[in-house]
Amino acid sequence: MKKIVIVGGVAGGASAAARLRRLDEEAQIIVFERSGYVSYANCGLPYYVGGVIEDKKQLTLQTPRSFWNRFRVDIRVKHNVLSIDRANKTVRVQNLETGVEYEESYDKLILSPGAKPVIPGLPGVDSDKLFTLRTVEDSLRIREYVENEKPKSAVVVGGGFIGVETAENLREMGLDVTIVQRPKQVLKPLDRDMAAFVHAEIRKNGIHLMLNKDVEGFKNLHGQIYTMIKADEAVPSDMVIFAIGITPENTLALEAGLELGDRGGIVVDEHMLTSDPDIYAVGDAVQVRHFTGGYDTLIPLAGPANKQGRIAADNICGLDSRYNGSQGSAIVKVFSLTAASTGINESEAAYAGIEYEKLVLSPASHAGYYPGGKVLTMKLLYAKDDLRILGAQIVGYEGVDKRIDVLATAIRCGMKAPQLKELELCYAPPYSSAKDPVNFAGYMAENIELGLVKQFHWQDVAKLPRDGSVTLLDTRTPMEYAGGCAPDFINIPVDELAERVGELDKNKPVYVMCQSGLRSYVACRFLAQKGFDCYNFSGGYRFYNSAVSEMKMTERTWPCGMDKK
């Protein structure tokens, strides 16, 4: 009878245990979990803190008793694995309730220790007003503090998924919330121009956003905790949530001499096997290959962890199951807004040394003639050499999830960007358009690759010459133009262009902008066929204004022909 020991539950370990039992009814399976919960909804923790999830039992997916009843798996919670003896194939375990230590043998070992919050050694981090949010126990502690102490303000240090979700939930409870973030944006998987929409939503809902700020420490003073900011004033609050990121929980692997990657993740092969032939590793603690970027990285997400647990179990039971890499598909709710991404963004493409093309579009979530449609902002990256899709980002209020899932599937299937036009997606007026936004992305990629349109981007606008050698053209309506435009762009509405084309000089390149990129594309096709060298602005004025306003740290729209002084 085979004996498998699993260190850690939650997504990876619990998934492995259940799969092992489905494949082998005779195996002895033991799971050691350091916390009091073996399988819980990690991603739901911020929503329990905020009271959206009212009952803590809803966070628990399986208990030791339910696991035993269904799978006959021996779950031992509040048991900490102290060390691994690879030569004798045993682990040293401590029962955290009794303090008793003992050894447990194994035939195969699966490590699923997860990750731990990053807590720098800053002054004051031991304050009882400072919290992390990683486990059920963490969320219980925060919620108890909120209910008992009735805090009126909070600082969230870190603007990743957990930080943003926690800030939103605390704000919804009525707290005055500040997010302090070292990078210049929240949500690292997004490019900064796409994150600008998220920043605007955060500020619109009353959260103070302090970007590009370094936290130097904390002080308890006058009944509050002060977050000390480098080169800025300290921020007083009644509590602090530390959410600057996580790091692989690799102590066991390190001390056992298993191979680790540059960022501390446990190195595994496609079978989830470590450098020891009898030890597998899964979940947030492992280093994976990025599916589109091709580089080794850490992608701590529940979906990949579940798949990896299943794959490790398959291989232990004799199946040839392989993990082909993670692409980091993720989505987050930010008040009324939804932001999602899959694959790599611009900075990651540059890191990987991949030459790429990008396009931005702003389609409606469903047919324009059906009430209630909302604008989506979509960004697509694809490789210049073979046109394979590298990544996508979408921000909007409706229909974000289904489009990002289509694009994630297209990436996994190796589709080329122009092929998106061929996808036959469901259409009814309340849900989409006959040409879905994903199809539009394919049409745009095809037009670019056929040379039917040339692009310029928001970063290029400030670099365009203002000496009269080029024409800067805005093709929106006079009312739209009067509401704000890019500096020095003249206005000729697209519907007047045929009659007024004589006002333009064919010897000058024309850079064309509209609200979303569609009318400017129509204008560019007309002008190109009239002999003009024409460039279409990717994303439209709405995208330009959002990105540039964020760079200036203001949401104000400046009058035409002017810039912030």
**Active site residue ranges:** 43
Find how far residue 475's CA is from the centre of its chain.
Answer: 34
Q: Write the DSSP string, 454-516.
A: -EE-HHHHTTS--SSSSEEEE-S-HHHHHT---TT-EE--GGGHHHHGGGS-TTS-EEEE-SS
Q: Where are the beta strands (DSSP E) in 298-343?
A: 330-334, 337-343
Which residues, other chains included, contact 450 with Cβ-Cβ below 8 Å and sequence gap of 6+? none
Which residue type is seen at 249?
Answer: E
Question: Nearest to residue 29, comparing CAs of 315, 274, 316, 399?
Answer: 316
189 contacts 328 by C-beta, under 8 angstroms: yes
The maximal CA–CA distance of the chain, rounded, in angstroms, is: 89
Question: Nearest to residue 137, comparing CAs of 207, 230, 220, 56?
Answer: 56
Burial of 174 (0-12, 13-18, 19+ CB in 10 A): exposed
d(CA 246, CA 298): 10
Question: Nearest to residue 39, comparing CAs of 143, 136, 108, 131?
Answer: 136
Q: What is the DSSP pairing of strand 108-111 with strand 3-7? A: parallel
d(CA 205, CA 171): 8
Task: Name 225's bridge partners.
Answer: 220, 237
Q: Provide the token pair at 307.
A: 């798949």
187 contacts 330 by C-beta, under 8 angstroms: no
Which residues, other chains included, contact 389 with Cβ-Cβ below 8 Å and sequence gap of 6+? 292, 343, 380, 381, 382, 407, 410, 411, 415, 416, 417, 420
Q: Label residues 430-448 b or e (16+ Cβ within 10 Å = b).
A: ebbbeebbbbbbbebbbbb
Q: Provide the token pair at 153.
A: 């303000």
* Residue with tokens 């008992």, as numbered in its chain: 148
Residue 8 phi, psi dihedral angles, 5° rounding: 105, 140
